[in-house]
Each structure stands twice: as C-alpha cells, then as structure tokens.
Amino acid sequence: MNIFKYLFEKDKKPRKGLLAVEWVIMGYLLLTLLLILFTYTKLYNPEPMLWGRFRIVMMTLALWFVYRLLPCRFTIFCRVVAQMGLLSWWYPDTYELNRIFPCYDHLFASYDQQLFGFQPALLFSQTFSHPIFSELMHFGYTSYFPLIALVTLYYFLCRYEEFERATFIILTAFFCFYAIFIFLPVAGPQFYYPAVGLDQIAKDVFPDLGHYFADHQEMITLPGWSDGFFYHMVENAHDAGERPTAAFPSSHVGVTTILVFLAWKARCRWLFWVMVPVYVLLCLSTVYIFAHYAVDVIAGWVSAIVIYAVLHFLGGKICEFRK
C-alpha cells in the first residue's frame, strides 16, 4: 500500500460541518461552561478553565478549516487525534469542577468492605509484592493509552469506512465518564487511604471527609517494586497529572472494555488476542496500584456494556445520515 497516496486520498463527499465526535466535545464543553458560569465564585481556577475552552474551540475550527482546504484522510485523522490528545487536559478539569462538591469515598470504601469483607486494594498489593508481578501490574496500567492508539490506528489504516464511528464511540465514552466524575466525586484509595490512615482503614473505619480533597492531593506511595521500569512510568504519570478525581466508575476499565469490543467487532484476530491479556492486566492493575476500589472496576464493566451498546447504535445512525 502506498501510504502517501492512502493518507492524501481525497474524500469523495467532503464533510461540510463538524465531525460527530467534535459535536460531542462541543456539547460537553457547553455543559461544563454553563457549570463554570453558575459556580464561578466557588471555583478555584475559573479563568484558565475558560481560556482553555476558548482555545479548544479555536483549534477545532482551525482544523475544520484546514480540512475544507484539503479534504482527505490525513486531515480527518488530524482532527480526531487532536481531540484525543486533549483528553489529558480534560481529565484534571473534572477535578476543578468536582472539588466544589463533597467526596463520596467513604461510601465506596464501605461498599468494598461489605461486598468482599476486606479492602481488595489494600490486600492485593500486600499479598502480591514480587517484582515480576509488580511490573506486570504497572505495565498493564501504562498500556491504557497505547491500546487506545492501537485500536484507533487499526481502524484508520485497515477499516477506514468505520474509523469515524469507532472514534466517535471511544471519545464519546470518555466524555460520558468525565461527566459522571464531575457530579459524583470519588478520589479513590490512593488519596482516601492516606487521608484516613492505613491503620484506620485496616480497622474498617471509613469516615466522611466532606470537602477534604478540595485542598489536599497527597497520594499513597505506589505499591510494588520501586526499581521497576513500569513502576517509574506510572509514578511519573501520577506526579505529572493525577488528581483526586475519576475513581467511580473506572474509565480505565470502561474505555478499555470498549476497545476490546471494537477489536472483536473488527474481526481482527491478532488485534483481539493481543489486547485480551493486556486488558486483564489493566483491570487488575487499577486495584493493585490503589487507583480504584473493586466496585469501581465492576461499575466500569457494566457502564462499558451500556455505553458501547448506545454509542454503537448512535454511531450507525450518524454514519447512515452522512451517506
């Protein structure tokens, strides 16, 4: 395949407006913009949040304009990938919005205790501390964005006719989770455990901390082999952008489950079977490194099934409409 010819093959029916995923992002942007305006005096950093949204709108319009000048696969790809690249900006933004609400970690830690009789996150990492197991867990966690990139590239290069639908499902799923994170603040064990104290957690004491995480971002030390390569990758990622937000449901589990569904839907055996073992490691790792309660993982599976079913249906309708 001539990759240059493939990338710059002109669209037979150039899209006049925004892509489906761009409309979703504009909708999420409008929703959060209204929330910012209504809670402006309670927010900690409203001006950067507003300025960031303005820049996203300008970037989206600029990429749309470039596509109108050169309507081809490459410019479509750039439009989608640019929005994917901004996911790391939208993630901490959920914290800026949900820190005005009380946190509900005491409830979810209690749910884990009631369901399992212990704290899975606490016991898991204490029981399995061997360096090899530790590295497998941290590798699983770091595979999140590479898996997203793998599925996205596969659909772009091998199933271009379904590329817009697949990326619509992936990106819209992210914003479904982000909307939940805003209105249901749960910091996760990595923040809740050190705030309460591991001795208290071990005694099944789960106090309501209210607005504690609005001003505190202290994290527990990552478990496992501290000299490991993947351990340091997770550690650096946490230092760079982790916030006490986005624990319930687990978007890592939810989005990756959707990626597995997309790999199965593509009927690509090598893609599916490459992803499955990494997917299992990722699901386990979210609890192992204290990022999530076990109930967050369960909710991630359930929400992924619902979100995928709805978005797959909507994506099909959108594609039919464009034809």
Q: Is the Cβ–Cβ distance between 323 and 278 less than 8 Å? A: no
Q: How far apart are CA 283 and CA 256, in angstroms?
A: 9
- The alpha helices in 248-293, defined as continuous H runs, are 251-265, 269-288
Q: Is the Cβ–Cβ distance between 316 and 169 less than 8 Å? A: no
Report residues of the chain scoring pLDDT below 50. none
Q: In the Cβ-directed half-sphere of 244, how many Cα atoms lie within 13 Å?
A: 30
What are the tens digits of pLDDT across the range 33-52?
Answer: 999 999 999 999 999 999 99
pLDDT in the model for residue 1? 56
Q: How far apart are CA 267 and CA 21, in angstroms?
A: 24
pLDDT in the model for residue 179? 97
Q: How far apart are CA 179 and CA 170, in angstroms?
A: 15
Q: Which amino acid is at 12?
A: K
Least Cα distance to 123 among 188, 187, 185, 189 occurs for 189
Q: Is the Cβ–Cβ distance between 246 and 99 less than 8 Å? A: no
Q: How far apart are CA 119 and CA 198, in angstroms?
A: 11
Taken in order 81, 85, 91, 93, the sign of the CA dihedral is negative
Q: How many other C-beta atoms are found inside a 10 Å radius of the C-beta of residue 244? A: 25
Cα three-residue angle 211-213-215, rounded to 5 degrees: 95
pLDDT in the model for residue 187? 97
Specify the pTM.
Answer: 0.95
Q: How far apart are CA 150 and CA 148, in angstroms?
A: 5
Taken in order 251, 91, 240, 188, the sign of the CA dihedral is negative
pLDDT in the model for residue 319? 57
Q: How many other C-beta atoms are found inside a 10 Å radius of the C-beta of residue 133? A: 16
pLDDT in the model for residue 13? 82
pLDDT in the model for residue 4? 80
Q: How many other C-beta atoms are found inside a 10 Å radius of the C-beta of residue 118? A: 14
pLDDT in the model for residue 317? 60
